[in-house]
Structure 1
Amino acid sequence: MINVQFAALPERWATYEAPLRAAFAEAGLEVDLRLDHAPADVDYVVYAPNSNLQDFTPYTRCKAVLSLWAGVEKIVGNQTLTMPLCRMVDPGLTAGMVEWVTGHVLRYHLDIDRTIHTQDRWAPVVPPLAEERPVTVLGLGALGQACAQMLATLGFPVTGWSRSEKSIDGITCRHGDAGLRDALAMAQIVVLLLPDTPATENTLNRDTLALLPKGARIINPGRGPLIDDDALLAALDRGQIGHATLDVFRVEPLPMVHRYWTHPNVTVTPHIAAETRPLTAARVIAENIRRGEADDVFLHQVDRRLGY
């Protein structure tokens, strides 16, 4: 019997219990799934970083901590977590992110906001074709690649940037500092899907925002700290940036006094771009437990040196 502890906020148990049990059965795993195993008896922890479990020292036989979150910045530095840590790469979450990003890129591309606001008068707005609208995706992990490839399928010329060199069919890939400058220089729309690490904080700042063509649009469903908020607001005020759609913030919920709420060229969405989907996430968890029991390599294991 494999002992699995579920460690997330209490209300998540009702959401995940049935999908996890079904996924374990489908994978042929004999699992005792509980909220309250004795720590020394636990083989795997299904985990959310905002749970009450923060000290992993008593989990002496635990083979892996399997996060339900895509981001691990809130837990990767925990010195008591010495066993393998796997982040969530969920097909359902990825599909949701692709749909959200594609929708907002098309909203900008077709100038839907302006068309709606002028529907009381005859003022045709004819957009260019997608092939005339360069898009840059910052971050080429699983989510970034999926979004970049969908946008390329729709005909947008897509440039992707990552810290390390990558090659993706149909995407112009750039990396490093010089690559970032190139990726921004022609981008009419920028999508941020980088992880939150010390190396990615304020990727968009006063200097990098100035590299963008005047009036460029920004979409951030990645992480709040990727953007220097003061620099973005200043760029919006002077028209360097035409509009920003922001789904993530340094402080959430976004404080009501924040200027993002009232700025005419900012759209705020409440961290809804992508959510872990219990049905598909449960299958990822079950596959990683199967791999652990077979002494196989875990999926999506975190490289703690990189922070993701």
Structure 2
Amino acid sequence: MITIYFAAGKNRWPSYEAPLRAALQDAGIMADLRCDCPDPARVDYIIFAPGGEIDDFTPFRRCKAVLNLWAGVERIVGNPTLTQPLCRMVDPALTAGMVEWVVGHSLRHHLGMDRHIVNPSREWDATCPPIAAERPVTVLGLGALGQACAKALQSLGFPLRGWSRTAKQIAGLDTYHGQDGLKAALTGAEIIVLLLPKTAETENILNKETLAWPARGAAILNPGRGHLIEDAALLAALDAGAIGHATLDVFRVEPLPADHPFWSHPGVTVTPHIAAETRPKSASAVVVENIRRGQVGLPLLHLVDRARGY
């Protein structure tokens, strides 16, 4: 029997206990699954989330893997005591939620829905939007979430460009990479979707210089990381009309402070980090599959590259 320590926070335990036990049973894995800290020397796997129960991983010498419940690992990957393999969450339900958020808000901006939904002056504005094929979209970040969102938007007819830090060849998608490719990817884009991890290279990727490259009045959607956008530069671009609207789901400080100018700016929509949530049932299946693989000597899924930071 193996020992699995649920160190993702006692507040999450009631939601995860039953689906984890069910997934372990379905996989035929006999496990001592617990949320109270056992003897670290007995722990085979740690299920983790930032803000959970562990800061120092040193005592868990037997642990075969730390299985993160979040897609993002920036709050744990730099922990110097973490020498065990670290896996991030790639959850089909999380991906579906992200696709729905991105597609929904892309269509909202594409169709100009806000001017009809909020129309206190009862203005009869019969302006028609272009069709999707006439609205270029750029997705920054071509991991699992970025590719899924790009494919969904392509299926609606939007012309897509994708950008990543390193070169990627993706069938049917115009891809760019590196600093030289960033300007080509952003120039003329009318909707920009940010789905990059937070690293030293991606922080403030949208700044005073790069915010001038998209089409005038472009919409920005950021369900990725708050640190990807330089806040002051975005506000200045909105005030100047260079950017038409920003729909933001993630922020440098969360919850977003009540006095932050994003709340009151007419060109900003704030959503409270709800674009993609890890769902206990589907996430439990992902976690248990990695435990099964670890037990039979197969490569772990979604293993984090420490050098790249994700």
**Aligning the two structures, in what range does the TM-score lie when normalised by the shorter sequence?**
over 0.9
Map of 1:70 onto structure 2: 71
Residue 10 (structure 1) aligned with residue 10 (structure 2)? yes
Q: Distance in 2 between matches of 1:45 and 1:236?
A: 44
3-state SS, counterpart of residue 15 of structure 2? helix
Q: Distance in 2 between matches of 1:301 and 1:163?
A: 18
Does the CA-based 8 Å contact 2:206-2:229 persist in structure 1? yes
The alpha-carbon deviation at position 123 of structure 1 amounts to 1.8
Q: Distance in 2 between matches of 1:134 and 1:212?
A: 10
Residue 144 (structure 1) aligned with residue 146 (structure 2)? yes
Q: Distance in 1 between matches of 2:188 and 2:19?
A: 45
Does the CA-based 8 Å contact 2:161-2:175 persist in structure 1? yes
Q: Identity of counterpart residues, as a percentage?
A: 64
Map of 2:23 onto structure 1: 23
Alignment counterpart, residue 221 of structure 1, candidates 220, 223, 227: 223
Residue 110 (structure 1) aligned with residue 116 (structure 2)? no
Map of 1:205 onto structure 2: 207
3-state SS, counterpart of residue 11 of structure 1? coil
The alpha-carbon deviation at position 265 of structure 1 amounts to 0.5
Map of 2:303 onto structure 1: 301
Map of 1:51 onto structure 2: 52
Q: Distance in 1 between matches of 2:243 and 2:180?
A: 21
Does the CA-based 8 Å contact 1:2-1:30 persist in structure 2? yes
- 1:86-111: CA deviations, max 9, x gaps? 00001010000000000000000000
Alignment counterpart, residue 236 of structure 2, candidates 231, 234, 238: 234
- Which structure 1 segments of 5+ residues have no match? none
Q: Distance in 2 between matches of 1:26 and 1:99?
A: 30
- 1:18-58: CA deviations, max 9, x gaps? 01011111111111101132111000001111113110111
The alpha-carbon deviation at position 118 of structure 1 amounts to 3.5
> TM-score scaled to structure 1, two decimals?
0.98
Q: Distance in 2 between matches of 1:80 and 1:116?
A: 51
Does the CA-based 8 Å contact 2:10-2:35 persist in structure 1? no
3-state SS, counterpart of residue 46 of structure 1? strand
Alignment counterpart, residue 158 of structure 1, candidates 152, 157, 160: 160
- Which structure 2 segments of 5+ residues have no match? none
> TM-score scaled to structure 2, two decimals?
0.98
Does the CA-based 8 Å contact 1:111-1:125 persist in structure 2? no
1:237-276 equivalences in 2 (<5 Å)? 237-276=239-278
Map of 1:34 onto structure 2: 34
Residue 132 (structure 1) aligned with residue 134 (structure 2)? yes
Does the CA-based 8 Å contact 2:217-2:245 persist in structure 1? yes
Stretches of 4+ aligned residues off by more than 3 angstroms: none
Q: Distance in 2 between matches of 1:193 and 1:143?
A: 7
The number of residue pairs the alignment matches comes to: 308
Q: Distance in 1 between matches of 2:26 and 2:145?
A: 26
The alpha-carbon deviation at position 115 of structure 1 amounts to 2.1
Residue 178 (structure 1) aligned with residue 176 (structure 2)? no
Q: Distance in 1 between matches of 2:104 and 2:34?
A: 39
- 1:153-208: CA deviations, max 9, x gaps? 11100101000111122211111112110010021000000001111000000000
- 1:191-247: CA deviations, max 9, x gaps? 000001111000000000011111111000000000000100110111110000000
Does the CA-based 8 Å contact 2:87-2:301 persist in structure 1? yes
3-state SS, counterpart of residue 115 of structure 1? helix
